[in-house]
Amino acid sequence: MKPATLEFVKQRFAEYYQRQNLTIPSSLEQREWGFIFFDATGEVRMRRHMAFADREELGAYVKSLVPAHVYYSTAYYQTPSAPTMNEKHWAGADLIFDLDADHIVRGPYAMMLARVKEETEKLLAMLTDELGFARSQIRIAFSGGRGYHIHVTDITVRGWSSQERREIVDYVCGIGLDPATMLTPAGAPTGWRQRYVETLRAHLMGIAAREPAEATAYLGGLDGIGKRTAAEFLANIGSLAAGAPEDLLKNRVVRAITAAPDFEERLRDAGARADEPVTTDIKRLIRTPGSLHGGSGMRVVPLEIRDFANFDPLVDAVVFGDRDVRLDLKANFTTSLLGNTYSLNAGIQNVPEALAIFLCCRGMAEIAGGA
């Protein structure tokens, strides 16, 4: 950012923190804190290994120094301010899931936010309906950027190792599923058994819908499947797809299909696309609800499950006003904000303050005077 832009954004952040408080995590005194500050050089450096005795001390620090980003540890430590991880003495960690639209789809910002919300809804259903976590032990936060964080605060998960957390995230993402387990009858299919069978049947019908030569070439390219076997399989694919799951398991072409990368990717679509390294990291720093995201100017919004369906980040996470700000936009840009759609051309524009903060934080515009 240019100096005028940096000063504009920092002043607005300072005004926000003077009137708003952070949402404080449980066991505040056991959390490590980290901050990234506004820097005229554009260099990103985090100040971490910090601890606060109470919310007043933390609030005074944020109000005084006005960080661009505020993070706290998902872990609990005996000495959170110690300068090395070993000296902190890990004492457990919340179970965290991170869903970021960048890892799911690319496109207009509003579309990315809608898509990542769908993935978050899938994950919430898995956690409560299939894995048995109580809704009262689950917290949601819009990240302020392009996704959501899910915090499972149940005390029984705090001592879990990275490997135990890996098993959970593999489950929700549909990684490493065994076809023999998924297709073997075990009562009415539910959870991943149901998703697996439905995904496989849809995949088979997708193959059947291709041109015969294309479908035969695809099947013939699978490990151990020749053209003759592929042609025979295609002749019976419809009845096979409609048959019992155990019959699918017996067919060697189906077994080859389930090992193919494109089917594994389709399974990932059936699961929830959570960021695996975040969940397995037992010493992670994560954005603090109530803080502002320095890359968007939007609020990190804490949410209850009951409020999630009606949450609209392009309205509910916007904290700045609508007074005009004069910007120099670097390129043409279209976005939605506060219920309006803005189609802007490169060059000098007057835009509402909330949109100005968003564009400046994203590096898409600079202050052109009149702020």
Rounded to the nearest 10 degrees, the angle between the axes of helix 191-208 and helix 212-220 is 130
How far, rounded to the nearest angstrom, does the alpha carbon of residue 195 sit from its chain's CA centroid?
21
Half-sphere exposure of 346 (CA within 13 A, CB side): 4
β-strand pairing of 95-100 with 138-142: unpaired
Q: What is the DSSP letter of 299?
A: B
170 among known catalytic residues: no
Task: Give the Cα separation of 119 and 274 in Å (integer).
Answer: 8
C-beta atoms surrounding 311 within 10 Å: 17
Task: Give the Cα separation of 264 and 172 in Å (integer).
Answer: 14
> Which residue in 275, 307, 312, 322 is the catalytic one?
275
Task: Give the Cα separation of 93 and 164 in Å (integer).
Answer: 12
Q: Are 67 and 35 in contact (CB under 8 A)?
A: yes
> Which residue in 94, 98, 129, 328 is the catalytic one?
98
Task: Give the Cα separation of 194 and 174 in Å (integer).
Answer: 12
Task: Give the Cα separation of 151 and 168 in Å (integer).
Answer: 13
> Which residue in 54, 100, 170, 269 is the catalytic one?
100
Could you tell me where the beta strands, DSSP code E, fall in 138-277?
138-142, 147-152
Q: Which element (helix H / strand E) includes 325?
A: strand 324-329
275 among known catalytic residues: yes
Largest CA distance in the chain: 74
Task: Give the Cα separation of 183 and 132 in Å (integer).
Answer: 23
Distance between first and last Cα of the chain: 15
Q: Which element (helix H / strand E) includes 223?
A: none
100 among known catalytic residues: yes
Neighbouring residues of 165: CB distance < 8 A, sequence distance ≥ 6: 95, 279, 280, 282
Q: What is the DSSP letter of 113?
A: H
Catalytic residue set: 98, 100, 275
